[in-house]
Amino acid sequence: MRAPARLARAAMAVASALVITACGPAPAADTGRPPHEVAAPSERAAATVQPALVRVTGEFTGWVHNQSGSYANNGQPFTYTTTCTGFGVHPDGYIAAAAQCIDTAGVGGVREAFVQAAAEQLVAARPDLRLADVIEHGRSTWTVEGRTAGSPVGSEIRISGIPGAPPDGMPARVVEVRPIMEGDVALLKVETSNLPSLELATGIDIPVGTPLIAAGYPATLGELVRPDAKPSIKDGAVNGTQAVGSGSVYEISTALDGGTSGGPAVDHTGRVLGIISLRGTDAQRLDLAVPVSGITELLGRNGAGNELGPRDLLYREALDAYYTGEYTEAIDAFDRLLQQVPTHPRAGELRRSAESAREQHGDASENHVAQVVTWVSLGVAIVMVIVFGTLLLVARTRRRKPIGRAPAPHAPVPPFAYPQQRGGPHAPVPPFGYPQQHRGPHDPFAAPPHQQVGAAGGPYHPHAPTVQLRAARPVGDPPAHRTR
C-alpha cells in the first residue's frame, strides 16, 4: 500500500475514534430526565408556599339574648370552633388570615355561627317557625357577647404548623380584622422572629385567565397540624371579578375544600395574588380570592410591612439551584437551612431528591460544559474526516494519471530535406544529391528508393509520386578554367 493511502486510512481511523469519544457510548437504560426538566410550572410555586402555611384554630364562647334580655340555651353559652388557614407575611410573627374565621362582631363571621345555633334551638321548640326567617330576625336584633354584658365573645386563637413550634401550636393575638363584607382579611401575630413568610404581589390587577395555585389545610385534616402535614394545593385560574360589599373579589376555579379560607392564591413565581375567601354553603359554594391590598394596608396601619426573613431567602436560594439543575448548590443550601430548622417541612425531602438527581444526571452546568466539549470534538472529527478524505481522493487520482514528459512539437521539415542516417532526422540534402555509390543506374542524381522523399516533402510511399532531387545547372565556368 502506498504511503498516501496508508496516511489517509490512519487519519480516518483517528477521526472515527474522535467521533466515538465525542458521542460517547449509548446509555444502557433510560434513567429518566432530571427533576428540573420535568417539573410543572406550578410545582416550584407549591414548594415555595408550603413552609409558610399555618393552621388557624379558634375556640369561641358566647351568649345570645334578644332585645328583652331573654337568653337562648337556657342562659348557657354556646361554643364554636373554627379551622382555617393562614400564612406568614413577616418573619416577626405576622400572619395573614380570613376574617370570617375569627371575626366575632361583623356580619358573616363567628357571630353568624352563634345566631344560627340559637335560631336552630328556637325552631326546634317552635316547629311552626321557618329557620331562614328566624336567622334573618336574629341577625338584626339579637346580641352576641361575652360572659359579662357588653364584653366581646371569648376567644382563643392558636396557630399550628410553624416549624419548631410546640405540638399544640402557639397562641396568637388578633391585631386587626376587616369583616367579610369589607375585605375578609385579618392580621394575627405570634411570638417568633423566624416565621416563614411569602411575598405579596401588590399594586397589580390580576387579568382574567391568569394561572394560579390555591393552598390551604382542609378542615378534615384535624385541629392541629404537624410540620410534616401535607396541605391541599390545587391548580386553577382567575375566572373573573365580582363586586362584594365595598370592594371586589376574584372568582377562581379551584374547587377548594372547607378550611382553606385564609390560604394564599399565588402565581407560578410564588407571589401571593389573593387570599382565599370561601362563601356560601357546601351545596353551593363560591371559590373567591380577595386582593392582597387589604392585608398590605393592615400591615402598614400596624407598623409592619411585607418582608422575607434570612431563612426564607436561603430556602429560595436552594429552590433556585434545585429547579435549575444545580443539585450540588441545592444540597449545600438545604444543608445550611436544615442546620437552622431541622423540622423544615420541605427542605429534607427536596435535599434527598437533589442528591438522587445528582447521582443519576449530574449538575446542569457540568452537563452543559460536557455537551460543548462533545460538539466541539465532533466538529473537529468531522473536519478531519473531510480533510483526510480529500487527501485520499487526490492521491488516488494522481496514481491513475500517466506521468511523463510532454512530447516536443515537431519542427517543420524544410523543402528538399531528407532524413539522414548520420546527420539526424532532418538534416538538409547536399545540393548535388548523394554520393555516387547511392545513385541509381539510370539517373545519377536520383536517391535510392528507400531514401526518396514523397510529394510535398512527406514520407516516401511506393505508390506515391516522388520528388527527384537534381543538381542545379552551373552558371558560367569555374574561375580556374577561364582564358583570356
CA distance 271 to 87: 12
The stretch 48-74 carries a mean pLDDT of 94
274 close to 287: Cβ distance less than 8 angstroms: no
The pLDDT score that the predictor gives to residue 479 is 52
CA distance 343 to 185: 29
Burial class (CB within 10 angstroms; exposed 0-12, middle 13-18, buried 19+) of 334? buried
455/234: higher pLDDT: 234
355, 268, 273, 259 alpha-carbon torsion, rounded to 10°: -60
- Is the predicted pLDDT of residue 91 greater than 80, yes or no? yes
CATH number of the domain at 41-308, out of 3.40.50.2300, 3.90.1150.10, 1.10.10.410, 2.40.10.120? Answer: 2.40.10.120
The pLDDT score that the predictor gives to residue 374 is 52
CA distance 248 to 6: 84
413 close to 456: Cβ distance less than 8 angstroms: no
Nearest to 181 by CA among 106, 82, 104, 101: 106
DSSP H helical segments within 401-438, as ranges? Answer: none
The pLDDT score that the predictor gives to residue 412 is 57
The pLDDT score that the predictor gives to residue 426 is 52
3-class state of residue 365 by DSSP = helix
**Total Cβ atoms within 10 A of residue 434:** 17
- The upper half-sphere exposure of residue 181, i.e. CA atoms within 13 Å in the direction of its Cβ, equals 7
The pLDDT score that the predictor gives to residue 134 is 95
Residue-wise pLDDT tens digits, 139-196? 999 999 999 988 999 999 999 999 888 888 999 999 999 998 888 999 999 999 999 9
- Is the predicted pLDDT of residue 32 greater than 90, yes or no? no
Residue 310: pLDDT band with limits 50, 70, 90: very high
The pLDDT score that the predictor gives to residue 363 is 94
Q: Which residue has the cell 431528591?
A: 353
